[in-house]
Amino acid sequence: MAISAAKMDARGADVRITDERLEVALRDGRTVTTSLAWFHRLAAAAPEAPRVWEPAAAGLGIHWPLIDEDLSVEGLLRSGDFG
């Protein structure tokens, strides 16, 4: 009997921000969702600024250059909900 296990890759692949939520899609297919209220600089930024992001540290982090904000994916994994 073979046992299959999904290969985990907890690096960010995509970011989506709504009025209330920060959603980060990971390379392994999981999505981490957390309240935007926890991230004051993102929540207070002009509406277009959080939409401009780039991977940092080979995907282990996320950087928003227009507001000089950085988050680690590991920190999001510790605080978020999974879908």
Domain positions in the chain: 12-82
Superfamily of domain 12-82: Uncharacterised protein PF10387, DUF2442 (3.30.2020.40)
What is the gyration radius of the CA atoms in the chain, in angstroms? 14
In sequence order, what DSSP letters do the residues of 33-73 get, joined into one string? Answer: EEEGGG-HHHHHS-TTGGG--EEEGGGTEEEETTTTEEEEH
Specify the residue for token string 């970011």.
Answer: 15
pLDDT at 76: 87
- Which comes out higher in pLDDT, residue 3 or 55? 55
Q: Say which residue, 78 or 48, is predicted with more confidence.
A: 48
Mean pLDDT of 8-12: 90
Confidence of residue 70 (pLDDT cuts 50, 70, 90): very high
pTM over 0.75: yes
